[in-house]
A and B are shown apart, each in its own frame.
Chain A
Amino acid sequence: MTGQESLELIARMIHKAKRDYFDSGLSALLWGSVISFCSLVSFINQLTVRIDAINAVWVLTFIAVVPQILIAIREKRARKYKTYDEDHMGGIWISFAIAVFLLNFIFWRYEYKGEAAVYLMLYGVPTFATGYSRRFRPMLIGGIACWAFAGLSLFCGYPYTLLCITAAALIAWFIPGLILRSRYLKAKKTHV
């Protein structure tokens, strides 16, 4: 093996391993659809019939934790390697989930008018961090969009703040989820 061949082999192997860094996109699709669905239903409800019981649709965000855990377990089992950033990203998303969970209680206990802005600001943090760390532009844009909608939500009254949440969830998670899913399925096809 010559020096040139050695360098080529190193580059080829690193490229092969890096090419496998594919997220299935299921988590992003799940949360993108659940959050946008809940906020859209709430928005339509507020604009039309105004039935309080319909706002219980937000319970879906708690129920969605179950498929999220199943997705995480399945992905962990199927993965034959572990990347360096997996633990960091996992830590960021878990702390985000805990912060959102606590915020629900804070806003339930103390009334605050700009709650959509706080949620959106928080949504932007792990989304931007993931996009930045994985060099995945759609999530980077998604994170920035969350912050932009956080600012916008301060200028539009309720229930239009719900539309800001719908748009942010679609841009930050649903669309990147679709892109990740299509990349994942394409990669899976070529590996078979």
Chain B
Amino acid sequence: MFKDLNPILHSQLRLAVISILIAVKEAEFTYLREKTDATAGNLSVQINKLKEAGYIDVTKTFKDNYPQTICKITPEGILAFEEYVRDLQSYLNIKK
């Protein structure tokens, strides 16, 4: 039914992460975990998939001596998200 939708984005947690990263310039891993209510392990796996697809950049640094992971959407990620939303809208319109 959703064959034409981007399979990387058509997953609840990955779509939630990308939607947040569309709204902000960059976000820490802990912020994404808070907003998505996901477990650290699951979120980490999904972030890796988005990173492998080239949709987000992941930077690992240190903040007050604690490791910090910062995620940022890439221009490819923005394009993919826009296309995904367009596909969704056209699908819903056709269905109407």
Point out residues on A near B: beta carbons under 8 Å: 1, 3-4, 6-7, 9-10, 12-14, 16-18, 77, 80-84, 86
Total of A-B residue pairs, C-beta within 8 Å: 69
B16 within 8 A of A: yes
A14 in contact with B23 (CB, 8 Å): yes
| Contacts known (A3-B88, A3-B91, A4-B92); A17 close to B24, Cβ less than 8 A | yes
A18 to B88 Cα, complex, angstroms: 22
B25 within 8 A of A: yes
Residues of B within 8 A of A1 (CB): 10-12, 15
B26 in contact with A82 (CB, 8 Å): yes
Interface residue tally on B, bucketed by range: 20 to 34
B25 in contact with A84 (CB, 8 Å): yes
- Chain B 5-17: CB-based contact to A (< 8 A → 1; otherwise 0): 1000011100110
B20 in contact with A16 (CB, 8 Å): yes
A7 in contact with B64 (CB, 8 Å): no
Task: Please classify the interface of chain B as helix (H, G, I), strand (E, B), loop, or mixed, using the class held by over half of its residues.
Answer: helix
| Contacts known (A3-B2, A9-B16, A13-B16); A82 close to B23, Cβ less than 8 A | no
Point out residues on B near A: beta carbons under 8 Å: 2, 5, 10-12, 15-16, 19-20, 22-28, 30-31, 34-36, 63-64, 85, 88-89, 91-92, 95
Minimum CB–CB distance for B38 against chain A, Å: 12
A86 to B24 Cα, complex, angstroms: 10
Minimum CB–CB distance for A14 against chain B, Å: 5
Selected A-B contacts with CB under 8 Å, 28 pairs: A1-B11, A3-B91, A6-B5, A6-B15, A7-B88, A7-B89, A9-B12, A9-B16, A9-B19, A10-B15, A13-B23, A13-B36, A14-B19, A14-B20, A14-B22, A16-B20, A16-B35, A17-B19, A17-B20, A17-B23, A80-B28, A80-B30, A81-B24, A81-B26, A81-B31, A82-B25, A83-B24, A84-B25
A16 to B37 Cα, complex, angstroms: 12
Residues of A within 8 A of B26 (CB): 81-82
Residues of B within 8 A of A77 (CB): 63-64
B20 in contact with A13 (CB, 8 Å): yes
Q: Within the complex, which residue of B19, B24, B30 is in contact with A10, where a contact is CB–CB below 8 Å?
A: B19
